[in-house]
Amino acid sequence: MSAERAAALAAQFKAVADPNRLRLISIISASEGAEACVCDLIEPLDLGQPTVSHHLKVLVDAGILRREKRGVWAYFSLVPGALDNLAGVLAEPK
């Protein structure tokens, strides 16, 4: 693994390596269409909206989630392939 690839992957793993962000990913993955409104992400985490928005922004900036504004709410979905790419890095030899 090249140093450049290791650095890029480490940045994405850092974005994932937080309990609240793991829970956000888990909720969004399990939502219908793998998409969730920010309005549905506040209550399950028991955090304030600014904190939830911060964690979502970290995941968007890392290329793991994408954000789409529709009406008054922002919707978050998985960037296709991003998590699969990270999972592939962790694949154990069979």
Nearest to 21 by CA among 73, 91, 86: 86
71 is a site residue for its own copies (CB under 8 A): no
| Residue keyed to tokens 């529709």 | 70
Phi and psi (nearest 5°) for 66? -120, 155
9 is a site residue for its own copies (CB under 8 A): yes
43 is a site residue for its own copies (CB under 8 A): no
7 is a site residue for its own copies (CB under 8 A): yes
61 is a site residue for its own copies (CB under 8 A): no
Cα–Cα–Cα angle for 94, 62, 36, nearest 5°? 95
How is residue 45 written in tokens? Answer: 């985490």
If the CB atoms of residues 10 and 39 are measured against its own copies, the closer one turns out to be 10
Could you list the residues that contact its own copies (CB under 8 A)? 1, 3, 6-7, 9-10, 13-14, 16-23, 25-26, 29-30, 34, 78, 80-81, 83-84, 86-93
